[in-house]
């Protein structure tokens, strides 16, 4: 067996030859994201659960233009289900909608979480005019039978 070592210079030449040439000869074309425009009137849907609050802002025909949630804003665990987290999420979603040209929204609230009122206030504070507020939380008409009481 021979224990000859290859010269290091030859290895460096080989890697330099196989490297891809730089594409700096011409101008690089950059694709810009198309700026989206929304209608002046839309709908805001607030889903307030015990664990999270999700805000979705749509156009009048139902096409989603902006959304945000408490968990998406960096809140984790029990802090997601606070009024402040709902306020921050609603502010982010409403600001996106205002930037796209929306001016007034109809608010639809669903759920019994703690972020219901604070998210409506945040939407109004972000510059959107709240035209109407509708609560569509489902209420049972004596639905399921409750579990038996605990014996202590």
**Among 51, 46, 133, 136, residue whose Cα is nearest residue 91:** 46
User: Which residue's entry shows tokens 């509708």?
Assistant: 134
Helical residues (DSSP H) of 1-82, grouped into ranges: 8-18
Q: Whole-model pTM above 0.85?
A: no
* Structural domains of the chain, with CATH: 41-135 (3.30.420.80)
Q: Treating both helix axes as pointing N-terminal to C-terminal, what angle do 116-125 and 83-99 enclose, rounded to 10 degrees?
A: 30
Taking 3-state DSSP, the helix, strand and coil percentages for the chain, each rounded to the nearest 5, stand at 30, 25, 45
Residue 16, pLDDT score: 54
Cα–Cα distance for residue pair 57/122, rounded to 1 Å: 13
Q: What is the mean pLDDT of the chain?
A: 86
Between 8 and 152, the higher pLDDT residue? 152
The mean per-residue pLDDT over the stretch 138-151 comes to 90
- The gap from C-alpha 145 to its chain's centroid, in whole angstroms, comes to 37
Tens-place pLDDT, residues 49-77: 999 999 999 999 999 999 999 999 999 99
Tens-place pLDDT, residues 106-143: 999 999 999 999 999 999 999 999 999 999 998 889 88
Residue 134, pLDDT score: 95
């Amino acid at each position: 067996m021979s224990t000859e070592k290859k010269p290091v210079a030859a290895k460096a030449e080989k890697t330099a030859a196989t490297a891809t040439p730089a594409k700096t000869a011409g101008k690089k074309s950059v694709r810009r994201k198309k700026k989206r425009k929304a209608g002046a009137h839309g709908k805001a849907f607030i889903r307030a659960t015990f664990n999270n609050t999700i805000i979705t802002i749509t156009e009048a025909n139902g096409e989603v233009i902006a959304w945000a949630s408490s968990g998406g804003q960096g809140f984790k665990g029990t802090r997601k289900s606070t009024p402040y987290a709902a306020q921050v999420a609603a502010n982010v979603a409403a600001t996106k909608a205002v930037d796209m040209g929306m001016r007034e929204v109809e608010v639809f609230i669903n759920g019994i979480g703690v972020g219901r009122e604070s998210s409506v206030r945040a939407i109004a504070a972000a510059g959107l005019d709240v035209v109407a507020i509708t609560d569509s939380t489902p209420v049972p008409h004596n639905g399921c039978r409750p579990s038996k009481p605990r014996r202590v």
